[in-house]
Structure 1
Amino acid sequence: MAEETAIAISFNGTTQAVMMASPQDVEDFAYGFALSEGFVAKISDVERIEVVEHPTGLEAQLWLNAQQAEVVNARRRYMSGPVGCGLCGIDSLNEALRALPTIPQTRGLLTTFDVKQATDQLRKQQPLHDQTRAVHAAGFLIAGKGILMAREDVGRHNALDKLIGGLNRAGVDPAGGAFVITSRASVDMVQKTTMVGCPALIAVSAPTALAVDVAEAAGVTLIAFARAQTFEIFSHPDRIEAGPKDVTR
């Protein structure tokens, strides 16, 4: 069975969030959460990190530089949520539809062949799912190279945060590819994608109407129902082009 445990994320000694998550890749999770939720702008804002075991769970303690600590203190909120919720416990309704950056428009990020293969390739990098049949995954897709990195978790938001943290710790810019997720595309998944500058999100299941609206406004290419060699593009289709392998001769 899949494990899940309470993981607290704290900044400079103050708890910011408590989420139920898989106890793997906790440092990636903490860094990814900090980046995707806007608590830090870059990984170097974190001076050090320590994962501490408690009788009831784990705590990822992030220590920020003085300038970033002031920013976090000015935007203090506390979240406590189960695995299926990415917006639980926010203090203000304004946080649910926060201001997002706009992703620059580009062409030719991926070919249709890349997208058709995306979820099948991600499926091959899910060892925890093979053991438990109970976890989500998020992967980073690069044109012509497939899934560069993948992370798993009982929560779909957590899996994406772990991927974001892992990429940034490895020095990989999310702007150069697309996120691929084994879940629906809800607005919070689009928000996390946008916050770290990734231009495309590919989901195996359906999008919500709000997710499509936010993706369109933020300049994100949103693709859903990506399975069995088919997919549907809901926003900014210009980033997806036909490649040589897509042409029938």
Structure 2
Amino acid sequence: MNQTLRSSDLNAAADNEAAPSPLFQTRVDERGTGRASEGDDVVAEEIPVAMVYNGISHAVMMATPVDLEDFALGFSLSETIVRSLDEVYELELDYGPDGVTAEMTIATERLFALKEQRRNMAGRTGCGLCGTESLAHAIRKIPKVGAHPAISDQAIQAALTELKQHQPLQAQTGATHAAAWCGVDGSIIAVREDVGRHNALDKLIGHRRRTGNTFESGFALISSRASFEMVQKSATVGIGCLVAVSAPTGLAIREARKADMSLIGFARPGRHVIYHQGQTTHIVEAVQENKT
């Protein structure tokens, strides 16, 4: 009988001395009009992370080397490789000189589906959306998210005000995106950072599901634009409201409409733009959770 993944299994890698730092320190020569100086600078790191399922290498992503357990699980969920974490039996991070390998053991049924997807990818080169048989299949069918709690303007503004306090990598490097899960009152419950906006969202998804939490009450706030992939990943795991500090794309708006997801863009202090209002219920009280 297969044993389901435990959080202790995931946290074990955090103590691995081979784990790379998410920060890189370097000497710089700073120039400006009439001045020049030398000093130290700290920048965000990025490394290759290979997603391997039952010995099959599926994808290699460039990511910030922090919260990689959350990244692997969130990627697996948002890309529909698994439908729930009950289908992930083991996860081990292997740190090597060339990057990190996330070795996962998944349910046999999901492995068969992954192998079928890889067969469709065979022989294709130079593609942006690999593994598709036609243009009609380039964008997978997006699920309906269902009715979700209405999010007030005040809650969105409160989350925006608080977000910077939860972005330590961004504060040090100015190079990372953040994805935050916020309560219906705008309180920030969890944040994950990465140089890649998709990665940050996957890390947040992985963290929420790994800790046994759902996306039924609250909203996601991302420090980037809202592309169709961000909408698709969100809808896939049941996020009913996505708020982005920058613009959405036209395809993202159309996908949000299909999913009946609330999509909000240009979320800045004092204003935000509602591009689609999904089906909502009344505003409910915030769920009390540990902030991480």
Q: Same fold (TM over 0.5)?
A: yes
Q: Deviations over 1:54-108 (max 9, x none)?
A: 2211110110122222222222277xxxxxxxx94513245531111111134x4
Structure 2: distance between partners of 1:89 and 1:60: 22
Aligned residue for 2:130? 90
Aligned residue for 1:181? 222
Q: 2:258 corresponds to which letter in structure 1?
A: A
Aligned residue for 1:165? 206
Which of 66, 69, 73 in structure 1 is aligned with 2:115? 73
Which of 84, 87, 104 in structure 2 is aligned with 1:62? 104
Q: 1:35 corresponds to which letter in structure 2?
A: L
Structure 2: distance between partners of 1:22 and 1:96: 27
Structure 1: distance between partners of 2:240 and 2:84: 18
Structure 2: distance between partners of 1:155 and 1:55: 21
Deviation at 1:112, TM superposition (A): 1.6
Point out the structure with max Rg over C-alpha: 2
- Residue 217 (structure 1) aligned with residue 258 (structure 2): yes
Structure 1: distance between partners of 2:278 and 2:107: 40
DSSP 3-state at the match of 1:63: strand
DSSP 3-state at the match of 2:216: helix
Structure 1: distance between partners of 2:214 and 2:144: 16
- For structure 1, which segment, 55-64 or 233-242, has the greater mean C-alpha deviation from structure 2 after superposition? 233-242
Deviation at 1:155, TM superposition (A): 0.3
1:112, 1:241 within 8 Å by CA — same for their partners in 2? no
Aligned residue for 2:45? 3
Deviation at 1:145, TM superposition (A): 5.6
Q: How many pairs does the alignment contain? A: 234
Q: Deviations over 1:25-81 (max 9, x none)?
A: 111000000000000000110000000012211110110122222222222277xxx
Aligned residue for 2:146? 104
Structure 2: distance between partners of 1:12 and 1:109: 41
Aligned residue for 2:267? 226
Which of 221, 237, 245 in structure 2 is aligned with 1:196? 237
Structure 1: distance between partners of 2:138 and 2:247: 20
| Unmatched segments (≥5 aa) in structure 1 | 79-86, 244-249
- Residue 43 (structure 1) aligned with residue 81 (structure 2): no
Deviation at 1:116, TM superposition (A): 1.5
Change (3 A) 1:151 1:95: farther
Aligned residue for 2:58? 16
Change (3 A) 1:198 1:208: same
2:224, 2:245 within 8 Å by CA — same for their partners in 1? yes
Q: Give every structure 1 segment of 4 or more consecutive aligned residues whose post-TM-superposition deviation is greater than 4 Å.
A: 240-243
DSSP 3-state at the match of 2:138: helix
Percent identity for Structure 1 against Structure 2: 39
Structure 1: distance between partners of 2:46 and 2:168: 16
Which of 62, 66, 69 in structure 2 is aligned with 1:27? 69
Q: Deviations over 1:171-221 (max 9, x none)?
A: 110222211100000000000000001101000000111100110111110
Structure 1: distance between partners of 2:85 and 2:181: 18
- Residue 128 (structure 1) aligned with residue 169 (structure 2): yes
Structure 2: distance between partners of 1:17 and 1:136: 21
TM-score (ref. length: structure 2): 0.76
